[in-house]
Amino acid sequence: MAHVLRAPLNGNALQQLHAGDEVLVQGTVYAARDAAHQKMIAALEAGQPLPFDIEGQIIYYVGPCPAPPGRIIGSAGPTTSSRMDVYTPALLQRGLKAMIGKGDRSQEVKEAMKKHGAVYLAAVGGAGVYLAHRITAVETIAYPELGPEALLKMEFQDFPCIVAIDMRGQSVYQASDE
Amino acid sequence: MRIVETELIKKAVKEAVKTANTRLPVDVLTSLEKARDNETVPHARQVLDILLQNAHQAQTENMPLCQDTGLVTVHVQLGQEVALTGGSLYEAINQGIGEGYTEGYFRASMVKDPFERVNTGDNTPAVVHLEMIAGDKVIITVFPKGAGSENMGRTIMLKPADGWEGARRFVVDTVRIANANPCPPIIVGVGVGGNLEKACLLAKKALLRPIDQPHPDRRIAAREAQLLQDINKLGIGPQGMGGDTTALAVTMEVYPTHIASLPVAVSLNCHSARRAVVTV
């Protein structure tokens, strides 16, 4: 049976998740990738607030295709998470509780996840149409000038993920010994 | 001499990018089905099932297979008996891409300057490779490729003494380091020989070959098979979460090289291995 996750998340819900578990994400998720992360970190460094209250929230690493007529969103699968590693600890420190993406994370991110009690979920990379069917609402909430990299607020219904790294630092990925 | 209007090239590129982004090539689809049937790890089989379902949805709903509709490489094989008229070949190609991506609701993923990083808005420009061939036809191959896999490519100038074993180790290490990032199951394009840029081009050219076609030279085909076996022993599996299927195929191209050189390039392609070929 898949666990159901709904933001805002608390430590108790996340405590039960183990690497390899199936999860269905429901409700509100914020979508951001490289450029939006850079802007959020710049805002924090300038002492300004983030465009949304990040406490207990989930960020999905995605830059969707434009919505064709009659749809709310185009294909929308996960992007490679490691590009966000450099920005992630600062967001975890401010209460971010889960990230959805694809591929392994850095040691720094794993340590920050353990420290702040967060999980990392993997969605199937390249399943853009399949996953778009699980997104029921989309709204641009910041940085519209970034086009496909704008900060979006999404609503998920039964969005399937695997717990890739749990809050104890256990991982489904083998070490790549780079 | 055959006169070809560049307007025809534009139209061909436009249709080709629409097809490539929404329809997985038959050889890739068949290979994914075979992998799903042979995969022994249950959750790996589940991932492959989702990918097949996604390919079906993309085709029936006319949606892009992946949100990363890529940087488009366009290989133009230009018959030397063709005279192009009506404008620049490069402009025609980029107009075809711009119109195709806009009409197809595909993501614009190109930024104008690598440091300023402002989106060009219509996924142009393409990277164009031009090759002269005999005859009066123009054969155009469009190859949209996402950055998840592209970012994991590597090249090395080995010493001749490193030989096949050195090349083999470099290819397998490239896949190991790439791990889950290039969206396995991957296709591994290997280019060996020539010089620095030739090896890279050969690796990319290798990725254009249908994956059910081994190299016509039996010795090279045997090396491809050996590399595929080595890579699938890594156990990275679909999406990097373990399994038998790390790569669907290894394709390799070679070229004569300098007495002091052994250039090796590896280009990884994701399972959404999109390409389309049109002849004008």
Q: Is B252 part of any domain?
A: yes
Confidence of residue A174 (pLDDT cuts 50, 70, 90): confident
Domain of B83, in residue numbers: 2-20+65-145
User: B241 and B184 share a domain?
Assistant: yes
Q: Is A171 part of any domain?
A: no
Instruction: Please list the alpha-helical segments (H only) found in B26-107.
Output: 26-38, 42-61, 89-103
Q: Is residue B9 pLDDT above 90, yes or no?
A: yes
> How high is the ipTM of this complex?
0.94
For A6, the 3-state DSSP assignment is strand
pLDDT, average across residues B191-220: 98
User: B97 and B216 share a domain?
Assistant: no
Domain CATH for A25 = 3.20.130.10
First to last CA, chain B: 14
User: B169 and B224 share a domain?
Assistant: yes
Q: Is residue A178 pLDDT above 60, yes or no?
A: no
User: B88 and B171 share a domain?
Assistant: no
Whether chain B has a CB inside 8 Å of the CB on A67: the answer is: yes
Q: Is residue A115 pLDDT above 90, yes or no?
A: yes
For the stretch B169-189, pLDDT in tens is 999 999 999 999 999 999 999
What type of residue is B220?
I
Sign of the dihedral through C-alpha B217, B219, B225, B231: negative
Q: Is residue B20 pLDDT above 70, yes or no?
A: yes
Distance CA B194, CA B262 (A): 8
Distances (CA, A) of B2 to A135, A141, B88, B280: 51, 54, 17, 11
Q: Which of A13-17, A157-161, B185-189, B260-264 has the lowest mean pLDDT?
A: A13-17
User: B116 and B134 share a domain?
Assistant: yes
pLDDT, average across residues B273-277: 98
- In our burial notation (b when 16+ CB lie closer than 10 A, e otherwise), range B231-254 reads bbebebbbbbbbbbbbbbbbbbbb
- Does A66 contact B270 at a Cβ distance shorter than 8 Å? no
State which of B110, B127, B145 marks the end of a domain: B145
For the stretch A130-160, pLDDT in tens is 999 999 999 999 999 999 999 999 999 999 9
pLDDT, average across residues B195-203: 98
User: B77 and B185 share a domain?
Assistant: no
- Across chain B, mean pLDDT equals 97
Q: Give the residue from B105, B30, B18 showing the smallest Cα distance to B271.
A: B30
- Does B179 contact A129 at a Cβ distance shorter than 8 Å? no
Q: Is B12 part of any domain?
A: yes
Q: Please list every residue in chain A whose beta carbon sits closer than 8 Å to the beta carbon of residue B147.
A: 80
User: B159 and B223 share a domain?
Assistant: yes
Question: Phi and psi for B4 in degrees, rounded to 5?
Answer: -125, 125
Q: Is A156 part of any domain?
A: yes
User: B7 and B91 share a domain?
Assistant: yes
User: B195 and B131 share a domain?
Assistant: no
User: B135 and B154 share a domain?
Assistant: no
Q: Is B183 part of any domain?
A: yes
Q: What pLDDT is stored for residue A177 in this prediction?
A: 53
Q: Please list every residue in chain B whose beta carbon sits closer than 8 Å to the beta carbon of residue A79.
A: 67-68, 148
Q: What pLDDT is stored for residue A176 in this prediction?
A: 60
Q: What is the total residue count of chain A?
A: 178
Q: Is B57 part of any domain?
A: no
Shortest alpha-carbon distance between residue B117 and chain A (Å): 9
- Between positions 139 and 168 of A, the ones with CB within 8 A of B are 146-149, 160, 162, 164
- Across chain A, mean pLDDT equals 95
Q: How many domains does chain A have?
A: 1
User: B141 and B188 share a domain?
Assistant: no
Q: How many domains does chain B have?
A: 2
Q: Which is it for strands B2-5 and B82-85: parallel, antiparallel or unpaired?
A: parallel
Minimum CA–CA partner of A164 in chain B: B241
Q: Is B111 part of any domain?
A: yes
For the stretch B117-169, pLDDT in tens is 999 999 999 999 999 999 999 999 999 999 999 999 999 999 999 999 999 99
User: B141 and B153 share a domain?
Assistant: no
Q: Is A140 part of any domain?
A: yes
Q: Is B116 part of any domain?
A: yes
pLDDT, average across residues B231-244: 96
Q: Are B224 and B211 in contact (CB under 8 A)?
A: no
State which of B113, B145, B177 marks the end of a domain: B145
Q: Is B194 part of any domain?
A: yes
Q: Is B31 part of any domain?
A: no
For B191, the 3-state DSSP assignment is strand
State which of B88, B122, B145 marks the end of a domain: B145
Residue A177 or residue B139, greater confidence: B139
- Does A128 contact B50 at a Cβ distance shorter than 8 Å? no
Tokens of B76: 């133009």
Q: How big, in percent rounded to 5, are the helix, strand and coil portions of chain A?
A: 25, 30, 45
Domain of A137, in residue numbers: 3-165
For the stretch B62-91, pLDDT in tens is 999 999 999 999 999 999 999 999 999 999
